[in-house]
Structure 1
Amino acid sequence: MRPCNPQGHLQMVVNLTDYQMNPQTALDAPRWRFLEGNSVLLERGASPEIIAGLRERGHDVKLAPETMFGKGQMILKNNGVLIAGSEPRADGLALGY
C-alpha cells in the first residue's frame, strides 16, 4: 500500500458521508496528503481559501505534481441502485451490473 492510500480512502469516506457527494464528485474533488511535521501536499485545484487557511494555521503547504494522486473507481449500492464513479486522474472505468 502506498503511503497516501489510507489518507485517500479517508477522503473518499468523508466526501461520501459528511459532504453527501456522489462517487464521481468524491473522486473528482482535490486531494491532500499530510507529510512530515506540519507539511501538507495539496493537489492543484484546491481553493485559494483552503491554501490560505492552512498557511494561517502554520502549515507548510506544497502543491503536488499532477500525477501524485488518484487511480481509483467506486461503486455504491443505494436502495438497489448502483452509482459509480471513475478517477479522472487516470484511465479507468467503473461498471456494475
Structure 2
Amino acid sequence: MFDDSRTKARDFLESSSIVSELEDVLNHLVFEKPDDLHGYLANHFLGQSKQPQIVNLTFRQLIGPASEAAMNIDLTIALRNRTEVRQKHKHAIAFS
C-alpha cells in the first residue's frame, strides 16, 4: 500500500513537470539573490497560476428603503484552488 502511494506521487510529479519548474525558479533565485525570498517565489508562481474563473453570477433587482431601484450582484469565482469566493454588492441604479 505504501509503495502504491509512492508510485502515484512519483507519477504525478513526473506528469506535472513541477520538479523541473521548481529547480528552474530556485536556480534563478540563487542567481538573483532577492531580499524577499518568499515575495520572489510568490511573484513567480502568481504569474504561472490560472486566471480567475467566474463560476456563478447572479443579479437580483431590489427596491431600496426610499423606493429606489437597486441591484444585488452575487459573484462566485474560482481563484488559486479556492473554489468558492463570494462577493456581494448592492448598488443603487439611476434610470434616465
TM range (shorter): under 0.3
Higher fraction of helix: 2
* Greater relative contact order (CA < 8 Å, ≥ 6 in sequence): 1
Structure whose alpha-carbon radius of gyration is higher: 2
